């Protein structure tokens, strides 16, 4: 009778469940799982740090609709992987962390890298469990995959002790599991669909907020039909960008603060009123704002601001219902309202405010001048990754997204360190698209060694570092005595492009904006991984903001 080992069964179960990518670092005891995964036809990418591997797994999950797997060694490997679990859970993105564990027969004895892994993973997971019998592996993999993508997506953890990985079972004793279908799409009650439209019709200053829940549910066609049919102005959340084209005439992007502050009815679509949306509270929002909320998670309804209408279910299905219901209505939001005029006026004023920075050709350059060339060069179909404080915030406003799920950034958890993992995930999930990652110099430091990973797999990613020499900027010259350097400061003129050179890619250093476009063109034409390191003025910053980002 044929026998099968735990590693092979794990790999085959993942493959059966549509898990196509595994990111990890091998070592005791998980090496056999990586090898078995490759044999089973899963694309395995060896990373340099488990954090990056865990970020890559969730980005692949969001981009493809099936969770990515992250494979880590016991103890410290799992601890590093927790970073990704927490980030995935906060962003509502699916991933499965598979942690190797010391053998069960050494539990409690002080085994090598022994850790209470299920316990520490649990707060960040929808489902976390140890696999205790080889023959039950398919059961646990099915549980993890289903939990990661059904309902509100999130992270799952499976603990794989050494003796389960190496253990064998007769194939006919294996408990087979059914393949998890794509998430079922649930609709809202028709009465609530009508109520929602009634509330929107009654609005004087309506606003639709499109979040990444709509990206995840692949609702872009329905959302576009809805916006164009109703003519409602919309605002995209940072990663909801692209569900609607940022350059759509109904986008209020450039007048974000004004639109949020003045709207009297907000239709929240797959987005949360958390810190990114200033909790939906004054002074950033109208005190009397009325909320129509669409979310897959009933518990999310009325968080921070009570919703007048709740549309609980799948984004694509429910916006489809709204579109259907609109067929029997005449109403749309008129074009010639004071609200449209005020948004247009505010957008123009904001654009005017940054124009001098865009036009400033002095060297070293500023963010807005750098983004002028970057966005003119950026292909429409690129996946855009942004990481860093100013780099990410300004980049979000200056690099438009035309299509859904093409922007990845620090997200709901505000995580620094996600960038290279996301970049590598995007490159493997979208081999047909250009991958453009714009990092601050502090940001690239968190995961910069993954440049080796990009080079090793010859992923033709285009990395740009906007280098102002520190966290939020550096200093012009180092003092003789370096013992009292300001905490934010990093080495002046760091040659990040040389790291790319070191691993076999190609790098460019740009210290005058007049050379930027040429370097970007060369980087794009280069067939492998490329990095353009752009020196910014050490005090380059954002345009003055009406509110601090964390205004309560
Ligand atoms: P953003 O940061 O873009 O505003 P959030 O992560 O805050 O987005 O919110 C996304 C919301 O989308 C979550 O509350 C989540 O429950 C919801 N969501 C996830 N999947 C779906 C889906 N298929 N349909 C509708 N909403 C969804
Ligand atoms: Mg910096």
Average pLDDT over residues 166-189: 97
Q: Quick one: 382 and 441 in the same domain? A: yes
Q: Quick one: 315 and 387 in the same domain? A: no
Q: Say if 179 falls within a structural domain.
A: no
| Cα 268 to middle of ligand 1, angstroms | 10
Q: Would you say 498 and 505 are in contact if contact means Cβ atoms under 8 Å apart?
A: no
Q: Say if 349 falls within a structural domain.
A: no
Q: Which 8-state DSSP code applies to residue 100? A: E
Q: Quick one: 407 and 376 in the same domain? A: yes
Full residue range of the structural domain in which residue 308 is found: 190-342
The closest ligand to the CA of 274 turns out to be 1
Q: Which residue has the tokens 């897959």?
A: 296
Q: Say if 348 falls within a structural domain.
A: no
Q: Quick one: 134 and 237 in the same domain? A: no
Instruction: Give, for ligand 1, the residue of 149, 213, 256 to mutate: max count of ligand atoms closer than 8 Å to Cβ.
Output: 213
| Cα 340 to middle of ligand 1, angstroms | 27
320 Cβ below 6 A of ligand 1: no
Q: Say if 441 falls within a structural domain.
A: yes
145 Cβ below 6 A of ligand 1: no
Reply yes or no on whether the pLDDT at 546 is more than 70: no
Confidence of residue 1 (pLDDT cuts 50, 70, 90): confident
Q: Whose CA is nearest to atom 20 of ligand 1?
A: 213
> Of 291, 307, 342, at which residue does a domain stop?
342
> Of 314, 342, 370, at which residue does a domain stop?
342
| Cα 151 to middle of ligand 1, angstroms | 10
| Cα 214 to middle of ligand 1, angstroms | 7
| Cis preceding-peptide flag for 283 (omega within 30 of 0) | yes
217 Cβ below 6 A of ligand 1: yes
Residues 491-519: tens digit of each pLDDT: 999 999 999 999 999 999 999 999 999 99
Q: Say if 464 falls within a structural domain.
A: yes
Q: Quick one: 331 and 368 in the same domain? A: no
Average pLDDT over residues 30-40: 98
Output the furthest CA–CA distance in the chain (Å, rounded): 78
Q: Quick one: 367 and 260 in the same domain? A: no
Collapsing DSSP to helix, strand or coil, 205 comes out as: coil
Would you state the pLDDT for residue 139?
98
Q: Quick one: 276 and 383 in the same domain? A: no
315 Cβ below 6 A of ligand 1: yes
Q: How many domains does the chain have?
A: 3
Average pLDDT over residues 392-419: 96
Q: Say if 547 falls within a structural domain.
A: no
Would you state the pLDDT for residue 458?
98
Q: Quick one: 431 and 295 in the same domain? A: no
Q: Quick one: 329 and 374 in the same domain? A: no
Atom of ligand 1 nearest to the CA of 239: 3
> Of 173, 199, 232, at which residue does a domain stop?
173
Q: Say if 351 falls within a structural domain.
A: no
Confidence of residue 457 (pLDDT cuts 50, 70, 90): very high
Ion ligand 2 — residues with CB < 5 Å: 440-442, 468
Atom of ligand 1 nearest to the CA of 274: 7
Confidence of residue 552 (pLDDT cuts 50, 70, 90): very low
Give the H or E element holding residue 61. Answer: helix 50-64
Confidence of residue 543 (pLDDT cuts 50, 70, 90): low
The domain that holds 383 is classified in CATH as: 3.40.50.970
Within its chain, how far is the Cα of 291 from the centroid?
Answer: 25
The closest ligand to the CA of 314 turns out to be 1
Distance, CA of 543 to CA of 226 (rounded, Å): 33
Q: Quick one: 270 and 306 in the same domain? A: yes
The closest ligand to the CA of 214 turns out to be 1
**Beta carbons within 8 Å of 191's beta carbon, 6+ residues apart:** none
Residues 293-321: tens digit of each pLDDT: 999 999 999 999 999 999 999 999 999 99
130 Cβ below 6 A of ligand 1: no
The closest ligand to the CA of 318 turns out to be 1
| Cα 154 to middle of ligand 1, angstroms | 11
Instruction: Give, for ligand 1, the residue of 65, 90, 92 to mutate: max count of ligand atoms closer than 8 Å to Cβ.
Output: 92
Confidence of residue 544 (pLDDT cuts 50, 70, 90): low
In this predicted model, which residue has the larger pLDDT, 367 or 254? 367
Reply yes or no on whether the pLDDT at 145 is more than 90: yes
Residues 69-101: tens digit of each pLDDT: 999 999 999 999 999 999 999 999 999 999 999
Q: Say if 551 falls within a structural domain.
A: no
| Cα 276 to middle of ligand 1, angstroms | 13
297 Cβ below 6 A of ligand 1: yes
Atom of ligand 1 nearest to the CA of 300: 14
Reply yes or no on whether the pLDDT at 549 is more than 90: no
Atom of ligand 1 nearest to the CA of 316: 24
Closest CA to 244 of 271, 222, 264: 222
Would you state the pLDDT for residue 545?
63
Q: What percent of the chain has pLDDT over 70?
A: 98
Would you state the pLDDT for residue 548?
60
Q: Quick one: 118 and 227 in the same domain? A: no
**Cα dist from 81 to 42, 230, 533, whole Å:** 20, 44, 29
Give this prediction's pTM.
Answer: 0.97
The domain that holds 242 is classified in CATH as: 3.40.50.1220
Q: Quick one: 169 and 242 in the same domain? A: no
Instruction: Give, for ligand 1, the residue of 214, 270, 408 to mutate: max count of ligand atoms closer than 8 Å to Cβ.
Output: 270
Would you state the pLDDT for residue 5?
98
């Amino acid at each position: 009778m044929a026998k099968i080992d735990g590693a092979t069964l794990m790999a085959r179960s993942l493959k059966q469940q549509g898990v196509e990518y595994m990111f990890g670092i091998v070592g005791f005891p998980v090496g056999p799982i990586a090898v078995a995964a490759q044999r089973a036809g899963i694309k395995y990418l060896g990373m340099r740090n488990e954090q990056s591997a865990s970020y890559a797994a969730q980005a692949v999950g969001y981009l493809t609709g099936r969770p990515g797997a992250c494979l880590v060694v016991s103890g410290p490997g799992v601890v590093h992987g927790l970073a990704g679990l927490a980030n995935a859970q906060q962003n509502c993105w699916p991933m499965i962390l598979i942690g190797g564990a010391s053998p069960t027969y050494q539990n409690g004895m002080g085994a090598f890298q022994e850790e209470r892994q299920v316990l520490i993973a649990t707060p960040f997971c929808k489902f976390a469990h140890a696999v205790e019998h080889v023959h039950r592996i398919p059961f646990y993999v099915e549980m993890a995959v289903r939990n990661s993508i059904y309902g509100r997506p999130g992270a799952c953890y499976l603990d794989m002790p050494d003796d389960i990985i190496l253990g064998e079972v007769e194939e006919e004793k294996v408990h087979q599991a059914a393949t998890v279908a794509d998430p079922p799409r649930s609709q809202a009650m028709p009465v609530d669909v009508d109520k929602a439209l009634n509330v929107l019709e009654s609005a004087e200053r309506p606003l639709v907020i499109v979040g990444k829940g709509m990206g995840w549910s692949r609702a872009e066609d329905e959302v576009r039909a809805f916006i164009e049919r109703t003519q409602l102005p919309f605002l995209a959340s940072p990663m909801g960008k692209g569900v609607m084209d940022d350059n759509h005439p109904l986008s209020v992007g450039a007048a974000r603060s004004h639109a949020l502050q003045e709207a009297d009815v907000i239709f929240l679509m797959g987005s949360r009123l958390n810190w990114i949306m200033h909790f939906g509270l004054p002074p950033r929002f109208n005190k009397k704002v009325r909320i129509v909320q669409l979310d897959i998670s009933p518990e999310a309804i009325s968080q921070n601001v009570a919703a007048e209408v709740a549309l609980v279910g799948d984004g694509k299905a429910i916006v489809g219902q709204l579109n259907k219901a609109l067929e029997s209505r005449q109403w749309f939001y008129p074009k010639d309202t004071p609200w449209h005029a005020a948004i247009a006026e505010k957008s123009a004023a904001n654009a005017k405010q940054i124009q001098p920075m865009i036009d400033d050709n002095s060297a070293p350059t500023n963010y807005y001048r750098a983004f002028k060339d970057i966005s003119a060069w950026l292909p429409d179909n690129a996946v855009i990754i942004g990481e860093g404080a100013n780099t990410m915030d300004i980049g979000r406003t200056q690099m438009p997204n035309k299509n859904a799920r093409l922007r990845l950034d620090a997200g709901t958890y505000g995580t620094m360190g996600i960038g290279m993992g996301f970049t590598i995930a995007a490159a493997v999930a979208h081999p047909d698209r250009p991958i453009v990652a714009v990092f601050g110099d502090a940001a690239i430091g968190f995961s910069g060694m993954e440049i080796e990973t990009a080079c090793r797999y010859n992923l033709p990613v285009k990395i740009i570092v906007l280098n102002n020499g520190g966290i939020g900027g550096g200093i012009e010259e180092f003092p003789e005595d370096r013992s009292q350097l300001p905490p934010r400061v990093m080495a002046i003129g760091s040659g990040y492009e040389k790291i790319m050179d070191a691993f076999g890619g190609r790098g460019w250093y740009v210290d005058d904006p007049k050379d930027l476009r040429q370097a970007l063109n060369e980087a794009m034409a280069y067939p492998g991984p490329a990095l353009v390191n752009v020196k910014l003025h050490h005090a380059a910053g954002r345009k003055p903001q009406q509110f601090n980002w964390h205004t309560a």
